[in-house]
Chains A and B, each alone.
Chain A
């Protein structure tokens, strides 16, 4: 290429390039930067070969480009001008792409993106949800042009900004434009770029330097990499403009050596720019000189800090120094230096070319423009995302990112790398900009967003970041050098189960010292991950220290197998699954009963936290643990039944339990097992608590509950029915009657009221959920004809709706506040309800109930825009203009339950919290009255049955300690069952065949609504055996390694 010596010549050159572009040529863009790691080179070659062999070389151009952004689906191939995007392309697909799509204009289904729920193919890039909310300004050229050919950049409008500046703008005007655009540094600190440039311009020293910080060291960040590899000239042009504005003649791009492709493309870009005379002396005849060269990092994260970076350029150890003087006054070699991040530089040509006005059309008031985020971790659509500043966290992670894989729960997103903090679920509605994120203890940082789900441990994440910063600390200043080591040691101890409660305050103290006293940003910011996780996940730290529990089931020292650890009751899951595989159902139930006396109930309705942590689920799908439990217990009750000998009574104390629900009966069972005489006082004529009242017959048949209760009674537990504990017979009376301890497990059975106009309990046709379910269960008739509206989005509401359908209501519709995918109800139940014909109306907030002559006629709903506020508190906001009135004959309100404290007389000594709930010690479940304990739904509010069961067992252990004078804390670690089966299950056979999870069968949807038959059919013995052998026996891993 010939050197261009004037602006006019550049324009001539550009015109020639554009004219050479033929009409109607098809371009195939193959990403050859990030996608190379997934075989893109082979795809490129195959496509080239295929085009040639099909004789299409004149009509088709196969181009190696930069990043398309949708990295999760690498390798990505885009076809223009059709706008088609194919993904996960393999070299073998080349033939079909060329012949079918390029030649015959046919689209290939299996190479297209498919929407997750409906599996519909989306062929056109601008329709793919991942791209819909993005605004790709800085990344506009990435994925379209060949970054190794400067002509492409020029043809796409490149270097027009440079021309504009050199011909029409004085250097100060360039700075003014950048200031007007309110561009803030994209490297993390967010300092106003224009202002920084002004300082550099005003400095006296010569020569002046401009530097590009391309040392993207933040783990989890790869935005700069994509720009450098996919559109390097954007950075070159940006630096040219900056140098012109500030009066600099020398520029350095400091790029980390771990980015070989970026280095290669930058070298090519600089060489080509030099060749054309866009770099060097007398650029385009303007008299402006600019020499740009590369400097490679040598593997030190701290060199991303500007003073350390400058030291590194000077060939020294990369250690930061104090500021002032700031680089703008005295930088490299003591001369004025301006350092900006890659993305900041890449924004500059856009600002100069299109003006600050255009630039400011997106963004927030203080932070204009777009920001590129690298989305990674536990999210479906990992890749590069460019959105206007001010987009919410939820939009990035769910709308663009496609949510969390495998239906797991979002836990937190780490923003800003090791200098940033964790943003937990309560802040999903936060709009992302420099200031909002800082307020909650994180930083927007360079743009790395690493998503974490329920299977990550926040303590371990904090430790992970500290281990990184500790090893990268340069060692110059004591706070950082010593502080990081100490913090790391403390966090490591906590993950090893050796933490102490004082550690929490120590972490805070050390963190503050580091923040205040460290020399540079690395030390100042490195405590942030620890401090922010401590702030939002304090319970996890405390659980690690006090109870040796790891919420993510990650910390090896506390976890034998993730499933057992996830179970609130700590059931030895792998063992009983292995017993099922061997057909030893009695042994399986025995193992379960060591922690849980309700195997048959849980086998039907447990929320199975174990399955969400099942490691098999990482491979394909989790083992169907709950269904296996059901097979074993059904067999047990069919072949052995509830008979058994009672436990021997070996203690003299007797204990009273209030409430024969799951918590109360579990407590009684374990107390009996320990040899105590236990009596359960139940107000109702039947036992079972919520199980019998609220869970419908079609999910949990009455017979199953009765058999389990009979078994517990046969163990020696006495249940007195129709014996309420209330003002006539108080718990004090119980203590006086000779009971040495009392466990109150009265459940949470009072229905919550909404509190809207027209909500009159006496209205005909108005019911409350729990009340309604209880009546139906008792066999009472509830007249429900016509249209039935159910209000609520939780499990009880869904059960209510399905029960209503079976009780004569012809038309049942659910109305809830939440959007469909945020309904708190168990997804499985919601889907079964929809199958049965129930209509779900999300985002509806009830506002007024209408009646006529004492009978319901209808109900008005307003559109609920948002359920939780910025801080994550329950604070529904509604659009009062958007209302609709729905005709209804019956309304069943099912918005939640609370504990009914009315049975405790008002002056009882039991200590209550401000809001009326009972205060209990979380470890021992003891109240302030000696000998009186409380637990289950009664103290926690409505929760899952397995939690109530584990609460009951904890109470039994605590009561036993109390009665034997043992005041050590209750400690319930995971334990292996004595009856240990050594079957290796899945690992025993080498098989390359797929072994997907066996799905349980259901009764036909149309037929099952006619009565209350059990909806889920359960496994056959054969199916159970096959499913159980999928278990990986994670519990044996440690034994094998001699731990």
Chain B
């Protein structure tokens, strides 16, 4: 399936917001990531030009931070926490199950662009280990059954 279409004219508005002000590259990129769901490679040159930087510098920043992606992500980004507390409480099997259920490896997006599976170092919800985040929502004290039901809900949401 084709990734969802993006409206590159939105980029101009984003650039305008960050053109003035000091050290705006990362906030600008964060804005782009938020708006398009990723940093489309074709935006790198216009951004570089607007901020008076070399495209390689912009590329360098995009590839350094794991928060930026040069590839489109799914509608629902599932981040399984691989922090210490979650690990100690069995997050490995949760991750294994997620991989099985979604048929994805870490960092991959499903062909229908519904789900992306990622791991994150620590969500800061350690008291609810093992945890997982889907977009902005947290799910804690995960067990295999709970995980399957949460995924089921999102699958339903996605098809609506």
A binding-site residues for B, Cβ under 8 Å = 34, 36-38, 71-72, 74, 216-222, 225, 257-260, 295-301, 312-319, 374-378, 382-384, 414, 417, 448, 450-452, 456, 461, 464-465, 468, 472, 474, 618
Q: Once the chains bind, are A317 and B30 in contact (CB under 8 Å)?
A: no
Tell whether, in the assembled complex, residue B30 and residue A257 are in contact, meaning their CB atoms are under 8 Å apart: yes
Docked-complex contact A221 and B127, CB < 8 angstroms: no
B53 CB, nearest partner CB in chain A, Å? 8
The answer to whether A377 and B66 touch across the interface, beta carbons within 8 angstroms, is no
Q: In the complex the two chains form, is A472's CB within 8 Å of B121's CB?
A: yes
CA distance A456 to B90 in the complex (A): 10
**CB-based nearest A residue for B58:** A315
Smallest CB separation, A776 vs chain B (Å): 46
B124: shortest Cβ distance to chain A, in Å? Answer: 4
Check if B125 sits within 8 Å of A448, measured CB to CB. Answer: no
Partner of A450, one of B30, B68, B88, B131: B88
Q: B90 — which chain A residues lie within 8 A by C-beta?
A: 618
Within 8 A of A (CB), among B19-74: 23-27, 29-30, 60-61, 64-68
For residue A468, which residues in chain B have a CB less than 8 angstroms away from its CB?
A: 82, 121
Q: Which of B2-10, B135-143, B152-160 contacts A (4 or more CB under 8 A)?
A: B135-143
Q: Which residues of B contact A299 (CB under 8 A)?
A: 65-68, 120
Q: Report if A74-B128 is in contact (Cβ < 8 Å); known contacts: A317-B60, A317-B61, A448-B84.
A: yes
Given contacts A377-B84, A468-B121, contact A220 B126 (CB under 8 A): yes
Asked whether, in the complex, the Cβ of A217 is within 8 Å of the Cβ of B121, the reply is yes
A376 touches B85 (CB 8 A): yes
How many Å from the CB of B125 to the closest CB on chain A?
A: 5
B123 within 8 A of A: yes
- The distance in angstroms between the C-alpha atoms of A72 and B85, with both chains bound, is 13
**Chain A residues near B25 (CB, 8 Å)?**
315
CB atoms of A37 and B139 under 8 A apart: yes
Given contact pairs A315-B23, A417-B84, A618-B90, A37 touches B121 in the complex (Cβ within 8 A): no
A464 contact set on B, CB distance < 8 A:
84, 87
Chain A hits for B29, CB < 8 A: 298
- From A222, A456, A474, A618, contact of B125 by CB (8 A): A222
Chain B residues, Cβ within 8 Å of A37:
125, 128, 131, 137-140
Given known A37-B131, A298-B30, contact A377–B88 (CB-CB < 8 A): yes
B26–A300 CB distance below 8 A: no
CA distance A221 to B123 in the complex (A): 9
Least Cβ–Cβ distance between A851 and chain B, in angstroms: 54
* Among candidates A219, A382, A461, residue contacting B121 with C-beta atoms closer than 8 Å: A219
Please tell me if B95 contacts chain A, counting CB pairs below 8 Å.
no
A–B Cβ pairs within 8 angstroms, 8 of them: A36-B138, A217-B121, A219-B87, A219-B121, A221-B124, A258-B123, A300-B64, A300-B66
- Contact partner of A257 (CB less than 8 A), chosen from B24, B67, B122, B139, is B67
A314 to B53, CA, bound (A): 13
Point out the residues of chain B lying under 8 angstroms from A38, CB to CB. Answer: 128, 140-141
| Residues of chain B whose beta carbon lies under 8 Å from any beta carbon of chain A | 23-27, 29-30, 60-61, 64-68, 82-90, 120-129, 131, 136-141
| A533 to B: closest C-beta gap in Å | 13
In Å, the complex CA distance between A472 and B27 comes to 21
Complex Cα gap A673–B80 (Å): 52
| Interface-centre pick from B27, B86, B125 (highest chain A CB count, 10 A) | B125
Residue of A nearest to B88 (CB): A377
Contact across chains for A414 and B84 when beta carbons are under 8 A apart? yes
Q: How far is the CA of A153 from the CA of B21 in the complex (A)?
A: 31
Residues on B with C-beta less than 8 A from A221 are: 122, 124, 126
User: Contacts A299-B65, A315-B61; is A220 near B122 (CB within 8 Å)?
Assistant: yes
Given contacts A258-B120, A296-B27, contact A220 B65 (CB under 8 A): no
Question: Are A300 and B65 in contact, with the CB atoms below 8 A?
Answer: yes
User: Which of B65, B84, B86, B128 has most A Cβ within 10 Å?
Assistant: B84
Residues of A near B60 (CB, < 8 A) are 317
- Closest-by-CB residue of B relative to A460 is B87
* Interface of chain A: mostly helix, strand, loop or mixed: mixed
Question: Which of A71, A259, A299, A384: most chain B Cβ within 10 A?
Answer: A299
Give, as a whole number of angstroms, the nearest-CB distance from B55 to chain A. Answer: 14
A471 to chain B, nearest CB (A): 8
Q: Closest 10 CB pairs between A and B?
A: A219-B83, A37-B138, A299-B67, A71-B127, A315-B25, A376-B85, A298-B65, A219-B122, A298-B67, A376-B126
B98 to chain A, nearest CB (A): 16
- B84 contacts which chain A residues (CB < 8 A)? 219-220, 376-377, 414, 417, 448, 450, 461, 464-465
In the bound complex, how far is the Cα of B33 from the Cα of A298, in angstroms? 10
**CA separation between A715 and B25, bound complex, in Å?**
81
Which of A295, A448, A456 sits near B26, CB closer than 8 Å? Answer: A295
B27–A295 contact, CB under 8 A? Answer: yes
Task: State the CA gap A602–B146 with chains docked (Å).
Answer: 38
Q: Which residue of B lies closest to A475 (CB)?
A: B64
Minimum CB–CB distance for A230 against chain B, Å = 13
A378 and chain B: residue at smallest CB distance:
B88
Set of chain A residues within 8 Å of B83, measured between Cβ atoms: 219-220
Contact of A313 with B65 in the complex, beta carbons under 8 Å? no
Contact in complex: B122, A218 (CB < 8 Å): yes
Question: Distance (Å) between the CB of A70 and the closest chain B CB?
Answer: 9
Closest Cβ of chain B to A972, distance in Å, is: 27
- For A554, give the chain B residue with the smallest CB separation: B92
Q: Which residues of B contact A36 (CB under 8 A)?
A: 138
**B76 to nearest A CB, angstroms?**
15
Max chain B CB contacts within 10 Å: which of A71, A319, A451?
A71
Cα-based distance from A676 to B37 in the complex (angstroms): 73
> In the complex, which residues of chain B have a beta carbon less than 8 angstroms from the beta carbon of A375?
127
Please, how many angstroms separate the alpha-carbon atoms of A805 and B122 in the complex? Answer: 56
A377: which of B24, B65, B129 is its contact (CB, 8 Å)?
A: B129
Interchain CB contact (< 8 A) of B88 among A384, A452, A618: A452
Given contacts A37-B139, A219-B83, A378-B88, contact A315 B127 (CB under 8 A): no
B124 and A216 contacting across the interface, CB-CB below 8 Å: yes
Chain A residue with minimal CB distance to B137? Answer: A37
Q: How far is the CA of A315 from the CA of B86 in the complex (A)?
A: 32
A382 touches B65 (CB 8 A): no
A315 touches B120 (CB 8 A): no
Whether A296 touches B30, Cβ cut-off 8 Å, given contacts A37-B140, A257-B67, is yes
Extra inter-chain contacts (12) besides given A221-B124, A298-B67, CB under 8 Å: A34-B125, A34-B128, A74-B128, A219-B87, A220-B83, A220-B85, A257-B67, A295-B26, A377-B85, A378-B88, A450-B84, A451-B88
B127/A34 in contact, CB under 8 A: yes
- Shortest B29–chain A CB gap in Å is 7
In the complex, what distance in Å separates the CA atom of A216 from the CA atom of B127?
15
CA gap between A260 and B83 in the complex, in Å: 18
Quote the shortest CB–CB distance from B156 to chain A (angstroms).
19
On chain A, the residues within 8 Å of B87 by CB distance are: 219, 461, 464
Quick one: closest A residue to B129, CB to CB? A376
Nearest CB on B from A1043, distance (A): 13
Q: Nearest Cβ in chain B — how far from A38, in angstroms? A: 6
Inter-chain contacts of A72 with B (CB < 8 A): 127
Residues on A with C-beta less than 8 A from B66 are 298-300
- A222 in complex: contacting residue of B24, B121, B127, B140, CB < 8 Å: B127
Hey, which chain B residues are within 8 Å of A312, CB to CB?
26
Assess whether A217 is in contact with B68, with CB atoms less than 8 Å apart: no
Verify A450–B61 contact, CB threshold 8 A.
Answer: no
Q: Chain A residues with Cβ under 8 A from B139's Cβ? A: 37
Give Cα A384–Cα B65 distance, bound, in whole angstroms: 29
Complex interface: chain B residues within 8 A of A71 (CB): 127-128
- Of all chain A residues, which has the CB nearest B62? A298
Given contacts A220-B122, A298-B29, A300-B65, contact A382 B23 (CB under 8 A): no
Q: CB within 8 A of A315: which of B24, B67, B88, B121?
A: B24
Most buried by B among A298, A450, A465: A298
Q: How far is the CA of A137 from the CA of B60 in the complex (A)?
A: 43
A382 and B64 contact, CB distance less than 8 A:
no
Return the chain A residue nearest B33 by Cβ: A298
Compute how far the CA of A316 lies from the CA of B85 in the bound complex, rounded to whole angstroms.
31
A257 CB to nearest B CB, Å: 6
